[in-house]
Structures are given as C-alpha cells and as structure tokens.
Amino acid sequence: MATRLSPHAISLLILLLSLQSSPSHASDTLTANQRLSGNQKLISQDGNFVLGFFQPAVEGSDGKWYIGIWYNKIPGQISVWVANREKPVSDPVSSSLIISDDGNLVILSNHSESPMWSTNIKNNKPANSTIAVLLNTGNLVLRHGSNSSVELWQSFDDIIDTWLPGNKLSRNKKTGIVKRMTSWKDRGDPTPGMFSIGLDPNGSTQYVLLWNSSVVYWASGNWTGNSFSGVPELSPTNSYPNSGYTFQFVENDEETYFTYTVKSDVQIFTRAIIDVSGLFQAFVWMEAAQAWVTFFTQPKAKCSVYGMCGESSMCSENAASSCSCLKGFTENNPNNWILNDNTAGCRRNVPLKCVNNSTVTKQDRFYLINNVELPDGAHIVDAANIHDCELICLSNCSCKAYSHNGTYLVWHDHLMNLQDSTGGSSDRIFIRLDASEIPNSGTKKWWIMCIIIGGFIILSLGITIVYFLYKRSRICSINQGDGPLISFKYSDLQFLTRNFSERLGAGSFGTVFKGVLPDTTTVAVKKLEGFRQGEKQFRAEVSTIGNIHHMNLIRLLGFCSEGAKRLLVYEYMPNGSLDKHLFDSGSVTLSWKIKHQIAVGIAKGLAYLHEECRDCIIHCDIKPQNILLDASFIPKVADFGLAKLLGRDFSRVLTSMRGTIGYLAPEWISGEAITTKADVFSYGMMLFEIISGKRNLEHAETSTGILFPVLVARKLLEGEVQTLFSSELTNGVSVELERACKVACWCVQDSESSRPTMGEVVKILEGLVDVEMPPVPRYLNILAEGSRSAKSSSYEPTK
C-alpha cells in the first residue's frame, strides 16, 4: 500500500535534496547542477556582498520572500538588488534559484508551474555551459562556463532602486531604452514605486527625477562638457580628489551614460538610491559611527518632490516632520509614516455627507489654511465672488477645496502638493470637511484657554529645568553624561566634511572645516598642521578639552590620529568667532545687551577653568578669535591648544612665551612664571575691544597715539568715560558700561596681585560686588609704542 507524505515531510525532503546539490562553503558561483534555497547563499570572493532569500525588515513583510543582493559586512541587511521584486515567494525552503534547461537564471516555487522570475535570455545555450557568479562589485552575472569573458546577463543591467560604483545610468542611442532606477513601493515592498531617475527620455543630456513616469520634479541640467549645469559638484574635475571615488560622463555612438568608480586601493562602501520618499540620495558607510552618512541629496527642497506627502496632506520645509495630514484627515498608513514614507497620504476622519450634485449640503463646512502654495490640479470656475465660489464647490460632491488668488479655483478628487509657505506666498485655501470636524466658537474659546494655561505650565517647567541644567553644567565632568570621545578614521572625516570643502576659519595650529555627523549634527573639524610640536599640542588639547564640560567652553566630540594626520571634532558654533562680529564692517553691530552677555559668559568659562575644575587650567591665548558664539550668541571659550594644566598644589607654572601680542601680560615679556592672572590680563584687553567694538590700537587717540585702554583709565579718573562712546551705546546702560570699563582696567594692571580673579570679575560684571576706581596701568603706555607696528600679529615662537 502506498504511503502518503505530509506537506511538512515533502518540504523537508526538498530541503535535503537541495542541500545535496547546493553551493558549498558559501561559494560565489552557482552552476547548472546546483540550486539555492532556504538560507543558502552566494558570497562574493571579497566577502562584501551576499545573495540569497531575504525578507524586508519592516512590519507587514511576513510571508513575502525575495531573492536579492545585500551587504554582507554591514548590519541592517541593506539590499542593493532584488530579482523578483513584483512576485515574492511565500516559502524560501520550497523555492529555489537555479539555472534552467535553456540556460536562464530562474526562481521556482512549488506553488507555481512557471518561473516566478527569469533572466529571459533568448536563444541561449544549454544550462550545462552556463554559470552565475556574484562579483566583488555586487553585480550578479550569467556567463558561459568555458569563457568567462562572455557575459550573457548581469544584474547591473536590471538596476532596481540602488546605483553601485561601476554601474551605469544610461540611454541606448540605437534602441532608445533608458536604464532607470525606480523606488520601492514602500519600505517593506520592493514592487516598483512612483519615483524614478534616469536620463531624459526626450534625448537631452540631463538626468530627471520623475513621479509616475510622467511628472518631472527635478532635473540636473544638461551636461556642459565638464559638469551638469545644475549639479556642478558631480563633475569629474570636482570629484573629491582624496575621497576614493570619481564621476564620469560618457557619450559615444552607441550610448550615453553617467557612472562613478571607487579606487581599487580604497575600501569604501558607497551607494546611491531613489528613496520611497522621492529623494535621490548618495551614502557612504562610516565604520567608526556604524552608520550610513548622506553626502548628496536632490532635490534640496524636499517639498519640491511631487507627491512626497501623498493626498490631503501639507508639506513644510522647516518643520521637524516634512509632511502632516490636514485637519480632519489621518495617515493612510501610520507604520509607513513612522518610517518617513508619506506617499500613501491621508484619509478623511469623517466622510462627506454629500448625496448628489444637485443639492447644496448644509452638513459640510470649510476650514481655512493661510500662507500656502496651492496644490496641483486646480479647475477655474466662473464665480462672481468668494461666497459664490464656495456654493459652487458645495454643489459638487467631488469638490474637495476652493481658493481665490485673482481667479476662482476649485479642486476635484485629489489634493496633491499643498505646501506651507509661511513668510512666502500669501495664498489661502478652504478645505472641505464634515461639519462635525469644525468646532463651534464656544468650543474654540475653551480650547484657546486650555492652550494658554497649558503653555504657561510648560513654560514654567521649562524655566525650572533650564535652571537646574545650568547649575549642573557648572560641575566639572570628565566625559560623563555625553559619552566617551569618538575616535574617527581620517576617511570618515573626509566624508563628514565633503573632503574639507567648507572652511570655517583658521585657529591656532590648524584650519577648521564644517562637517555633518550621521545624525545630522553639524560639527567643526579642526585639522592640525604646520607645527613641530603637533603631537604634544594634540594630546594636550584632547586630554584637556575632552575632560571638561561647561556651557561657556567649547565641547570636544572626537578626534583622529592616523600617522601624521591629527584632527579634532568640536561642536559647531553657527555665529562663528567674536572677532568677526566686533571688527568686520559687514557684520551686524552687537547691542550692549549681547556684548554684556558675551563678556559675562567668557568670564564664567575662564572662572571655571581657573577655579572649579579638578586641575586648574590656564588658557594662555585669550583673544576674540578664540571666542565662538552659538545661535543665541552665548560665548564659548575655544582653542585650548596652548593650555597648561596646573595642579592645585602649585601656584605657578613655568612655560615658554606664547600667545598673541596685544593681549600678552607683562610677565610674558619679562620671562616670569605664568599664573591664571595672565589670562585675566588678556581678558581685560579683550573686554576693552568688546566694549568699543574696535581693536584697541585702531581706537587709539590718533593725535597722541595713546592706547585706547589708557584713554579709558584716564577718563574714568576724570569722570568723563562716557565721552569716549556714542550716545547709542551709553543710552540707558551707563552704569553697566562704566562698571565694565573699571573691570577691564583692573584686569590689565601691571602687578598680578592687583588684578581680580575671574570669579571676582563675574560678580562685578553682574553687579553683585562694588568696584573701586582703578589706577592707570603704566605697562600699557610701554606696550602702545611696541604694538603700533605689530597691529596684533601672532607671536608663536614654538612653531
């Protein structure tokens, strides 16, 4: 009697048979007598790419399996190619990738009689002469086994949503076929989506981004012979010379294409994709951060992506989330919205109650949105006024909204590409909703009161939290709370800074460049160079700044030390250095309120270094160039490359003369040992410049050449210090201004013992302690003679 096998037994038998004829030891090659199924894989010779069955790691992808290629050594299973993107299989164990009898690569499933996917090569040779090989480039090729140079098919010609180095985005001039990248339908579905990129199908030499293969929402501009007119950064001459990859545009009799390559001696993982959001983006893998870093995105304005937010939503460039549903609507696919895929748009909370087009319903009302760029697809109507336009819309069940911008407009069926334009367009639109979605005026007033009360409570809590955080920030911390410093590779910092392309300025011992971390945090990267004691200075700066934290001190985030290359990564200060705001004519003039805030903040930072840390730290080079300003003009003392650590058991530290002429204390010149009072002197000289907004030498009395600080000291004694400043500066702040002048004069006294500590300076500036009239410092008269020719030039003999 025949024995029937259960479905489970049949699957097990198939698996056992497949194992007997499957690629062994993770080979990179599949031959005619082998099959790949279950968790079997092909792995490229260098181990960087793997091919096998996979499921997208997104909720809702259960039961859908695909044959694909992904990175083998990078976490997250980032796929770069999918074979059966439109026909998933339900079970990888009972499905397999094989070379068919006619020499094609096919995917078979026991649930279908025909292949789920095939390379579809016509007039091919028999299977026994064909092999499939996964190359180190991530390209899967089908070859003649006896002649590896003959490639019958390659996955690079079947490009999906990912563009790898060596692949081409091309147009065949003979057939007119454009090789185009197409986005996934959503994060968990590789089915072709709505967005694509490729050469202009009309024949021009530009690349275009398309929605639904019809609407162009971005173009690169035509190739000029050196670059695309709209994307000059992708030209061969502008390729990052030290980044390890180059771009190339080729046009010949057979085809036109654009490609990029990675140098053979550089280990870089990079890819470009057309995302489900419609953005074309390029990434590089950052090993130190274990993250993909974006180094190219188009279009720059996300809201210019057609349909990115889907229907019945609004796009906002400056909001934390670019897309938001309109009032009365909810996300169509909330899970996709969490994954920044908003293309499914929004649906109504309450359906409209319109029954037919002949009756004006009273159960629908309109919600007004001001300052918008109107959606696409508007229809012009013949209306006498705005009320007439509203009635026309209400009388048509398909009408979704109306507007008036010189012409009366209505929208039927779809609301696509509505954009917030606060501060820009003054257009407004009325969105049709069920009456229950728009509260009456009484309810509205109740909500307004709730918002006001809630806002007051939140504000009070916020002030309390800020107060405690501020108090806590004064406690010296050694890399606690912010985590350890990040050790970057030099190649990492090349990509973070776009190969050091955006220069922020030059500090002591190096140049500073702008960079962006994987989490979009902007940083300043200091490239140390051109000095003999670089390693010593580097270690001093890392050990000093990395172990302290204060709201008025710049924070070190990481560093790099590779051979002779040494770099430091700091938090980014958007308002740059203080000297630009004081001395550059093109900068905005700082108000006294801001100047006072800066003076007090610097004093607090120095007081922390001198008096509150475990080890006293002398900065040794206080000047406006070493004071950075954040977005709110909060000052941060920077550049500790010259700092000296001084243990609490010692009152002085012997060091060679360094710093900047114009800010140097007398003890530097005389060769005496240096204490924290050298910083106090430099602070005083800088405070004069903060007060006046000019360099001390430039603000000197031209007829006598008297240095400005000396003029201030003399006018203080004569009770006429206000005459040195404009009425705009002294108006309403004369007491604060005179107090600051006295502090500056006390700070620059000849004798160290006569100068206040920075802690005392803080108390005086904040009005907590009275200050006496200072004497005129004699040293400044001597300094004026020697400084007029120097004009504050740097003196760094240790270089």
Q: Can you spell out the DSSP letters for 11-49?
A: HHHHHHHHHHTS--SS-SEE-TT-EE-TT-EEE-TTSSE
The DSSP output letter for 84 is S
Quote the CA–CA distance of 373 and 421 in Å, as a whole number: 6
Quote the CA–CA distance of 625 and 511 in Å, as a whole number: 13
Quote the CA–CA distance of 348 and 459 in Å, as a whole number: 34
- How far does the chain reach from its first CA to its final CA, in angstroms? 96
Q: 3-state class of 584 per DSSP?
A: coil
Quote the CA–CA distance of 662 and 543 in Å, as a whole number: 28
Quote the CA–CA distance of 299 and 63 in Å, as a whole number: 35
Strands (E) located in 442-601: 486-487, 503-507, 510-516, 522-528, 556-562, 565-571
Quote the CA–CA distance of 510 and 657 in Å, as a whole number: 20
Beta partners for residue 644, in sequence order: 618
* Tally of CB atoms within 10 A around 782: 14
464-481 CB burial, b ≥16 within 10 A, e <16: eeeeeeeeeeeeeeeeee
Quote the CA–CA distance of 308 and 319 in Å, as a whole number: 15
Q: Considering only CA atoms, which of 375, 331, 323 is closest in space to residue 349? A: 331
Quote the CA–CA distance of 111 and 109 in Å, as a whole number: 5
Quote the CA–CA distance of 252 and 248 in Å, as a whole number: 13
Q: Considering only CA atoms, which of 201, 101, 97 is closest in space to residue 140? A: 97
Where do the H-state alpha helices sit in 408-487?
441-473
Quote the CA–CA distance of 726 and 737 in Å, as a whole number: 12
Where do the H-state alpha helices sit in 117-270?
none
Burial of residue 564, with CB atoms counted within 10 A of its CB: 0-12 exposed, 13-18 middle, 19 or more buried: exposed
Quote the CA–CA distance of 340 and 100 in Å, as a whole number: 40
Quote the CA–CA distance of 638 and 57 in Å, as a whole number: 44
Q: Considering only CA atoms, which of 433, 430, 399 is closest in space to residue 413? A: 399
The DSSP output letter for 326 is P
Quote the CA–CA distance of 638 and 399 in Å, as a whole number: 60
Measured at the CA of 749, the angle between CA 694 and CA 606, to 5 degrees, comes to: 70
Instruction: Please give the C-alpha separations between residue 620 and each of 525, 537, 642, 645, 680, in angstroms, as whole numbers.
Output: 22, 13, 6, 11, 10
Are 154 and 134 in contact, with CB atoms under 8 Å apart?
Answer: no
User: At 116, which amino acid appears?
Assistant: M
**H-helix or E-strand containing 245?**
strand 245-251
Residue with tokens 């770099």: 567
Are 603 and 769 in contact, with CB atoms under 8 Å apart?
Answer: no
Measured at the CA of 358, the angle between CA 353 and CA 362, to 5 degrees, comes to: 40
**H-helix or E-strand containing 106?**
strand 105-109
Is 621 a residue of the active site? yes
Quote the CA–CA distance of 679 and 620 in Å, as a whole number: 6
527 is in an annotated binding site: yes
The DSSP output letter for 278 is S
Of these residues, 28, 189, 621, 679, which one is catalytic?
621
User: At 660, which amino acid appears?
Assistant: T
Q: Indicate the angle between helix axes 758-765 and 677-692, nearest 10 degrees.
A: 30
- State the binding site: 527
- State the binding site for ATP: 527
- Residues catalogued as catalytic: 621
